[in-house]
Amino acid sequence: MKNILKLTSLLILLLISSCSKDSADDVTSNTNTYALLSSEIGTNDNGVIQLWKNGNITDITNKDSYSWGDNMVIENGDVYISGSEKEVGGSVQTVIWKNGVKLNSTTSAKTNLTNFGANQKNEEKLAVPTNANLADFTVSGNNIYLLKDEFVDGISKIVMYKNGQPTNITNGSHRTTAVKIKVIGSDVYILGLEENESSTSVLKVWKNGQPTNLTDGTNVARANDIFITNNDVYVLGREYNGSYLKPKLWKNGVETPNFISDQYFSPTSLFVENDNIYVAGTTIKNVRLAQLWKNGETINLGSNLKYSYSSNVYVNDSKVYVSFFEQNQDDIFVSKLWIDGEITDLSDGKTNSFIQKVVVK
C-alpha cells in the first residue's frame, strides 16, 4: 500500500512538473514573427509593400501606386518599414512607415543634365542625384536614425541623421557607399566603403564617427552586414583576391580564418548568437540557390531546381529563421520562411513576391 502511495505521489509530481514546464514554454514562446514582402499584386502588377505577421498579411502601400520595401525594424512593438513609392502621376519617394502610417517622404528623382552645350564636360551631362539615397535606418527607443549617401558634384559622402539632425561621417573628398547602421546603447556603428587615393574601395566601420579600416585598400572590397553582440563587432563582407570576391568575416577588426571558401557564394545577412555564426546568402553557380552557412556547414534552402535567393537570417532562442524567395513551376517567385528546416510559403505563387526581411520579437 505504501509503495502504491509513493508511486501515486511520484506521478502527481511528474504531472505538476510537466504542466509547469508547458506553461513556461508557452511564456517563452510568446513571440511574434514579422516578414517584409514586396509583391506584384497591384494594378498592372505594380509592387505593393506587405507586412506578414504570424500568418496574417497587411498591405502597407496602395495597389494603385508602385512601391518596394527595403528594410524593417521592430521597436517597442512598433513596426517601422523603409521603402520607395511612386504614386500615379508623381515622382519616386523614399518613405518610412510606422505601423502603416507615413512618417516622412523625400523625392529621390534625378535631375537630367542633358541640355548643356557641346563644350560641356561629359560627366556634367550625366544624370546627377540632387539629394540623398537612404542606405539604411534603425530605431532605438524614441530615436530614428537615417543613414544616407549624399551627393555633391557627383561625389558622395556618408551622412547620419538622428531625428532629422545631420552628422557628416565622411567629408566628401572621396566616393563613399553607406551600407548599414546599428545603435547599441549610446554607440552608433556605421558600415560602409570609402575609396582611397587609388579609387579602390576600403571596407570601414565608423564607431561614433571614428573609422576603423578592415581592408588596406590593395584590393576592391564590398560590405554586406554588421552585427554587434557582447561588445564584439562582427562584419560580413567580401574582398577581391585576384580571382573573385571572397566572402570574409571580421571580428573586432581581425579577419576570421577558414571562413566561407565557396567562390560562388554571395553573402547577404549575418547573425551571431552564443558564438554561433549564421550567414544567409546565395550561391551563384549554375542555378541560383539560397543557402544558410552555420559554423562551416552549408545548408541548401532552395530545391536546386529553380532560382532561389536568400535575403536575411534571424535567430531567436537558438531557433533559426531565414527569409528567401524561390521560383515555382510557373517561374513565379514565392516568398518563403525557413525555420529550423521547415519551410512555410508566405505568398500564394500566383504573382511574384519577394521577401526582404524576417524579424522575431
pLDDT of 236 over the 50 cut: yes
**336-348 pLDDT tens trace:** 999 999 999 999 9
- What span, in angstroms and rounded, lies between the C-alpha atoms of 83 and 13? 54
DSSP helix/strand/coil, 20: helix
Per-residue pLDDT, 305 = 83
- What span, in angstroms and rounded, lies between the C-alpha atoms of 268 and 252? 20
pLDDT band at 103, cuts 50/70/90? Answer: confident
pLDDT band at 30, cuts 50/70/90? Answer: confident
pLDDT of 267 over the 60 cut: yes
Mean pLDDT across the chain, nearest whole number? 85
**54-97 pLDDT tens trace:** 999 999 998 888 999 999 999 999 999 999 998 877 888 889 99
CA distances from 345 to 52, 133, 303, 313, 360 (A): 11, 32, 14, 16, 17
DSSP helix/strand/coil, 93: strand
pLDDT band at 227, cuts 50/70/90? Answer: very high
**76-86 pLDDT tens trace:** 999 999 999 98
170-177 own/partner pairs: CB under 8 Å, 24+ apart: 170/194, 175/199, 176/149, 177/135, 177/149, 177/201, 177/223
pLDDT of 12 over the 60 cut: no
